[in-house]
Structure 1
Amino acid sequence: MVVLHYEIVPHDGGWAYKVDDVYSETFATHGDALAAARDAAERQQLADEDTATITYEDPNGRWHEEIVSGDDRPQTEVDDGADAQ
C-alpha cells in the first residue's frame, strides 16, 4: 500500500507542508501548516465514487490523466517537524 508522508517545513518566510517534493501554500505559523496537513491527509484517505479521473503533473512537467478506483486510498502520515520549531 502507498503511504504519503506530509512533512511540516519552513517555507517562503513561513511554514508549509510538503509531500515528496511538492509544497503546499505558505502558512504564517507552524500550527496553521500542521492543521492544514492533517486536514489534507485525512481527506486523502476518504473513499469517493467507484472510479475517478485524476490529472497530475510528473516531475518532468508532463501532465497525465488516469482513471482510478475511488476506494483505493493511500495511507497518510503527518510529521509535524516539532524538532524544527
Structure 2
Amino acid sequence: MPGLASVQATTSGVIEVNGEKIPALRGNRLSDGAPLTVYPGEVPSRLPGQAFWDSQGFQFEAFRPQVMDVDKPLPHIRLDAALEFLIGDKLR
C-alpha cells in the first residue's frame, strides 16, 4: 500500500543542487507558517545497520496543513483506501 496520511500537508516540488534538479517537498512550517522546500532524502535499498542509526542526526520538520476551501473535504493521502480496508465490508 502506498503512503498514508490523515491530511495532506505538502506538495511535490523540485530543488536545484549543483545544476541538478532533485525532487523535494514543499509546504509551510507548522511552527511559524514559513514556506519551506526540503529534500526528504533517499530510501536505502536495504535496512541500514545499527551504526547508521546511531550516527544520524535526523531532524524532521512538521508541516502546516494546506489552506483549504471550507466547502471541500480535507486533502488526504490514501485515507480513502485505509477506510475501505477497515470498514468497507460494513458499508456494502
Structure whose alpha-carbon radius of gyration is higher: 2
- TM-score, normalised relative to structure 2: 0.23
Higher strand share: 1
